[in-house]
Amino acid sequence: MSNQRKVVVYGASGYTGKIISESLAQRGIPFYMAGRTLSKLEKAKEIVEQRCAGPVDAELYVAANTAEELQPLFAQVDVVINVAGPFMQVAWPVVETALACNCHYTDTTGEQDWTIAIAEKYGQAFADKGLLLAPATSYMWTAGALAAEVVLENEGIDSLNIVYQIDNGLPSEASTKSFLRMVCGDQFYLNLNEYAAWPWDSLMNVNVPYRGQSLRAFPWGGACEPVWYKDDKRVRNCSVLTAFGEHMVDAIVVAIDKFREEALHLSKEEQEAFTNAMGDAMDSGEPPKDTVDVQRSVIIVSGQGQQVTNQYVMNLSAPYTWTGEISAEVAKLLLAGKLLKPGFQSAATAFNHRELLQTFHQLGFTSALPEPGSM
């Protein structure tokens, strides 16, 4: 691995930023830990070094999310990993500066509207430069795309129904604000190659293999798999539901009802401020790092075609830690020149999905892959 510092984690002092930093350090990748506040970055680096049981090759860099402050840093690197959200509110200068500085761009968003917006505005520009534009390089929503690619190995499958199920999920402060703006806004699934809107306050029951009872699930902002597959000739229909945990469902219903009663009539800017305030009220501080023994997840992808149906059930433990792993692994592959498809792509199509899943299985995060053609 080169000792040149070619990766930056922007928003490195946050919960997910520290986890990504840890995953980069474990791969021996030198990187910048960047953000707006030096004291927070210093504390974050201390925590990462404690987790890694020794020094990490990370340099701190203070910059606000403006092009003027980001440009000197991005000019030195090849890969930008953006962890500062809510993304639709604050991430525009980061992706724009990454493009201007010829950097690959990934982030950890869960926000469908942000993913659609940057795909439409910048997807072709990144492709023209041979660069990757991969928002949602994270558990939500790359894990489902990886499992979907396994299902799509079966010729004739053109429709995907995806369910995320998570035990003991506990979102970070930034994730809380992101998911509140997601569930309180437009949410889309893919129907006959076009976006169709979920009823914005949908709550429905889903059946999960290996569970005796049905679980309550939300569209959870619509997800990004419908966006990944919007212009994919293999896929006509794609929908995603998320069962985030029965311990959170009632609080989410209350938050959605509060938004409907008090904020539905407001301007978009006022609605964004409203969901941020709800997030602040729900915030209980930074949660402990998740573990494979507690935060377990199953992703179910059901595939259908004219003459064939199949299903792939993939275990994936510790979603936040896995977000660090997929972000760091993508950076590693980009630095090694392993990008298969530039432009707007999920990691599942930008790289070899089976090789990625095999890596995560060996690391203990995911179930074993089925043999090709066995489904």
Tell me how far apart the alpha carbons of residues 369 and 367 are, in angstroms, rounded to a whole number: 6
Q: How many Cα atoms are found within 13 Å in the side-chain-facing hemisphere of 61? A: 23
pLDDT of residue 266: 86
Map residue 211 onto helix, strand or coil. coil
Closest-CA residue to 171 (of 245, 227, 221): 245
Map residue 333 onto helix, strand or coil. helix
pLDDT of residue 127: 98
pLDDT of residue 247: 82
**Max CA pair span of the chain:** 59
Domains of the chain with CATH codes: 7-138+319-362 (3.40.50.720), 148-315 (3.30.360.10)
Closest-CA residue to 258 (of 283, 243, 275): 275
pLDDT of residue 373: 73
pLDDT of residue 175: 66
Contact 241, 166 (CB under 8 A): no
Point out the residues of the chain with pLDDT beneath 70. Answer: 1-2, 170-175, 177, 179, 282-284
pLDDT of residue 252: 81
Q: In terms of C-beta distances under 8 Å and separation of at least 24 residues, what long-range contacts does 118-127 make, across chains too?
A: 118/344, 119/227, 119/344, 122/95, 122/96, 122/344, 123/343, 123/344, 124/343, 125/99, 126/99, 126/342, 126/343, 126/344, 127/342, 127/343, 127/344
- Neighbouring residues of 371: CB distance < 8 A, sequence distance ≥ 6: none
What is the edge-to-edge ordering of all strands in the sheet holding 31-35?
A: 58-62, 31-35, 7-10, 79-82, 104-107, 132-134, 343-344
Question: What pTM was computed for the model?
Answer: 0.93
Contact 164, 299 (CB under 8 A): yes
Q: What are phi and psi of 191, to 5 degrees?
A: -130, 110
pLDDT of residue 210: 87
Would you state the structure tokens that stand for residue 26, as one six-digit string? 């474990």
pLDDT of residue 172: 61
Closest-CA residue to 148 (of 323, 339, 343, 299): 299
SS3 content of the chain, % helix, strand, coil (to 5): 40, 20, 40
Contact 23, 325 (CB under 8 A): yes
Contact 224, 250 (CB under 8 A): no
Would you state the structure tokens that stand for residue 3, as one six-digit string? 């000792």
Query: Per DSSP, which regions of the chain are E strands?
Result: 7-10, 31-35, 58-62, 79-82, 104-107, 132-134, 157-166, 188-191, 194-197, 204-206, 215-217, 237-243, 297-305, 309-315, 343-344
Dihedral in degrees, nearest 10, Cα atoms 115, 123, 345, 324: -60
Would you state the structure tokens that stand for residue 158, as one six-digit string? 């053109």
Q: What are phi and psi of 119, to 5 degrees?
A: -65, -45
State the CB neighbour count (10 A cutoff) for residue 275: 24
Would you state the structure tokens that stand for residue 227, as one six-digit string? 């966006």
Contact 199, 212 (CB under 8 A): no
pLDDT of residue 272: 78
